[in-house]
Amino acid sequence: MTDQPGVDLEKRQSADVRPAVLDGELIDEQAIPRPRPHLIGRAIRARAEVVTVLGASTTAATTGRAGRRVLAVGWTTGQGVRSTARRAWRGMTHGVEREQVRLAELAGDREAVGKAAADLRDAKTERMKRLLELPRAVLGLAVLAAAVLGLLLVLLFAGAVVAQVTPGGTDWAGWWAGVGSVLAVVSTVLHVLVVVLGPVLAVPVLVYAAWREGQRAAEPPMWLLAPEDRPRDELITPSKVIVALRDLGIAPLRAALKEAGDAGAALLSPIAVAGCGVEVDVLLPSGVSTDQIQARRRRLAENLDRHEHELHITVSAARTVRLWIADSGALDEPIGPSPLVTDKAQRSHYRSGRAPWGLSLRGDPVAISLYQRHLLITGLSNQGKTAALRALALWLAFDVRVQFWIADLKGFGDWSMFSPLAEVLIEGPTDDHVIAATEMLERAVYEMDRRLQQGGQHDPLIVIVDEAQVAYLCPEIDDEKRPYGGAKNTSRFFMAARKIQNQGRAVDVLLHQGTQDPTNQNLPKLIREGAHIRASLVVGTEEQARMAVGDKAVDGGAAPHLLRQGLDKGALVVAGDGVDLPAGQVSTTIRTHFIDTEPAAQVARRAVERRRKRARGPAVTSGEPDHMAAIEAALRGETRVRTTVVLARLMEADAAAYEGWDLPRLTEVLTLAGAPPLKSSGVMYVVSERVLTARGEAS
């Protein structure tokens, strides 16, 4: 080993200290600062004291918990003994019947007094009969015992006779000695069982019976139960809501509720059952904002004995929050299959129909209108975004007029079932697939411009881009140095999407997008704000929630960032047009039906078959269709139906014949036939009686 500068190896060896090496070089251990011995000893003692304190506290907690359990068992057993003695005494003295007589007398109900007195007399008569039959029962038992004893003596005598006549048998003395030995053993065993083991076995049995009776008769006091054993009150009452609000840690709210006392319940609306939970409005006192309540959602939920996801807070009016509190565990139950899977006769209508999408938190079915509405669905990966977007497209597929242009920029076969339905289907995550998707959007812009110039009505064109963030982040540049991705006005994908969002709805060219993890980079602001319907699965932060559904929705209570990743798959917070929102709210939460890939393929095959039948067309008939017959069928046996509903049903039943109809056209046909619509409370109705009369006169 070569000596290093500044290192005295002889001194090290004389001190019996091994040289230390750091990064291949010797270092001077004398220069290394070492902790002083008294500090080490102090640290060790402090650590020992901490361990001792923690151990003592743990032991004390365990001992206290065990002591409470022993006391609770003793209290329950004592209550069982008390209940048993009480029941026995009441049985001997007819206490139940006498109590009924007393209550009836206090109520002044003579009829009830007579009935209770009759029951008391019957009970006494029955007991007298049992007492009179008791000697007869005892005599019967004595006769039975005598018969058994006599039979035993006969058997013994027969055995003795057999023993005498058998060659080599024992004499009478030996026989009776053997019988006496057997009887002595039986007597000893019975004595041990009755005298020794009897009390030992009887005491635990009696104690257990008393404990079981005590559990039935009464609950132990709360101070005897460990915190984890104390029952929780799942019922939501006004007092529970007031206490939960009081303990939120908001000083003005606590002071106002404390000053109001029992009158604090006046701040609450009636607690109403709402689906799988309850709903209540809370009018906040002056000085308390709705933001403060929303910011303490978890604490408020725990104060109400609920998990955070089981409480939803929305702003229903000025200084008023609406609390929807789910029943414990209700939101973890599955919601069942989609009607698209279960209803084999599924039909849809782009203009007047609504797509079944799932259930609200209250358990009510939720349907969404897609007529002339751009759609955006966003959220974290693997939370059900594609399934939610695909379910709407599957419903639209049953309207034979709807055309699909689809770009799946994930490319795992999630949209392959649309191959026979879509005129364009792009599947893949590469830059080449992004270029193809961009050109698809640009062709949609060209088709939109053609329709705008042509005018009139056109078949709906639904342009779907799943995993759109891949396109917005694409770095490819075309021959003219224009990027395909990005959020600038030079981006081809971005500009095509903006043009469709600006003017496409007027001619039924619509853009539906699904994207992950919204940020300004992978989901530009103008694209977010151009969607009529904005839906979000779980996202990571409140900032992302605002990007997904908008500031107004989040300020009003929308909270996709508070959904549980993995546990709330398919749960969407929806804001915008097309969904029926509760009064005063700007968003709603939907638990969407999950349609897996194979069931989705089966639904798509049914849609393909429907389109094929539609392409073959109905049988050729001469002349105009019988409009009045079609209107009668659209009434579906109802007394009167709104004209708007009748028109929608006509279009759904025969889109080719009634696609161009409007309300004036329907009114004209009915009036000419002698069945004009009836106006009631400002609403026009088609009256079944008038239609039937008109058809009868025409025939």
Q: How confident is the model at residue 19 (pLDDT cuts 50, 70, 90)?
A: very low
What tokens appear for 215 in the block? Answer: 């559990």
With both helix axes pointing from N to C terminus, report the angle between 627-635 and 688-698 in degrees, rounded to the nearest 10. Answer: 150
595-645 pLDDT per residue, tens: 999 999 999 999 988 888 765 444 434 456 788 888 988 888 888 888 888
> What pLDDT does 23 receive?
38
Query: In the prediction, which pLDDT does 223 show?
Result: 58
> At residue 549, does pLDDT exceed 70?
yes
Place 63 in a pLDDT band, splitting at 50, 70 and 90.
low
Q: In the predicted model, is pLDDT for residue 49 greater than 80?
A: no
Given a cut of 60, whether residue 4 has pLDDT beyond it is no
Q: What is the pLDDT of residue 267?
A: 83
Whole-angstrom Cα distance, residue 87 to residue 96?
9
pLDDT at 511 exceeding the cut of 60: yes
Dump pLDDT digits (tens) for 320-362. Answer: 888 989 888 778 777 888 999 988 888 888 988 899 999 888 7
Buried b (16+ CB within 10 A) or exposed e, 99-115: ebbeebeeeeeeeebee
pLDDT at 38: 43
Question: Three-class SS of residue 306?
Answer: coil
pLDDT of residue 8: 41
Amino acid 276: pLDDT: 81
Per residue in 388-430, pLDDT (tens digit) is: 999 999 999 999 889 999 999 998 889 999 988 988 899 999 9
pLDDT band at 647 (very low <50, low <70, confident <90, very high): confident
Q: Give the helix/strand (H/E) hosting 502.
A: helix 492-503
Quote the pLDDT of residue 167.
58
Q: Which residue has the higher pLDDT, 284 or 51?
A: 284
Which DSSP state fits 583? T
Residue 375: its pLDDT value, please? 95
pLDDT of residue 465 exceeding 90: yes
Q: Would you say residue 35 has pLDDT above 50?
A: no
Which neighbouring-strand residues pair with 60?
Answer: none
Mean pLDDT of the chain: 79
pLDDT above 60 (res 26): no
pLDDT value at residue 415: 94
pLDDT of residue 568: 83
Q: What pLDDT is attached to residue 515?
A: 93
- Confidence category of residue 60, pLDDT binned at 50, 70, 90: low
Q: What's residue 101's pLDDT?
A: 74
* Average pLDDT rounded to a whole number, residues 86-97: 72
Render pLDDT for 271-326 as a digit per residue (tens, 0 to 9): 888 878 898 999 888 888 888 888 888 899 888 888 888 888 888 788 888 898 98
Buried b (16+ CB within 10 A) or exposed e, 592-624: bbbbeeebbeebbebbbebbeeeeeeeeeeeee
Q: List the structure tokens of 696.
A: 């009868």
pLDDT in tens, 551-563: 888 888 888 988 8
Mean pLDDT, range 534-545, rounded to an integer: 91
State yes or no: pLDDT of 91 exceeds 90: no
CB-neighbour burial class of residue 10 (10 A; exposed 0-12, middle 13-18, buried 19+): exposed
Mean pLDDT of all residues in 561-586? 83
The pLDDT of residue 32: 40
Report which of residues 502 and 49 the model is more confident about: 502
In angstroms, rounded to a whole number, what is the distance separating the alpha carbons of residues 599 and 399? 19
Q: Which residue has the higher pLDDT, 169 or 304?
A: 304
Q: What is the pLDDT of residue 46?
A: 46
DSSP 456-493: S----EEEEEETTHHHHT---B-TTS-BSSSSSTT-HH
Find, among 392, 335, 321, 399, the residue nearest to 364 by Cα.
Answer: 335
Q: Which of 167-171, 432-436, 486-490, 530-534 has the lowest mean pLDDT?
A: 167-171
User: CB within 8 A of 28, min separation 6: which ones?
Assistant: 6, 7
What is the C-alpha radius of gyration for the chain, rounded to an integer number of angstroms? Answer: 43
The pLDDT value recorded for residue 196 is 67
Residue 163 has pLDDT above 50, yes or no: yes
Asked which of 373-377, 433-437, 650-654, 679-683 is least confident by mean pLDDT, the reply is 679-683
| Local confidence band at 174 (pLDDT 50, 70, 90 cut-offs) | low
pLDDT of residue 58: 47
With pLDDT > 90 as the criterion, what percentage of the chain qualifies?
23
Averaged pLDDT for residues 568-589: 84
Predicted pLDDT of residue 120: 77
Cα 635 from Cα 687, distance rounded (Å):
9
pLDDT number for residue 393: 95
Q: Name the phi and psi angles at 369, rounded to 5.
A: -90, 130
pLDDT score at 5: 40
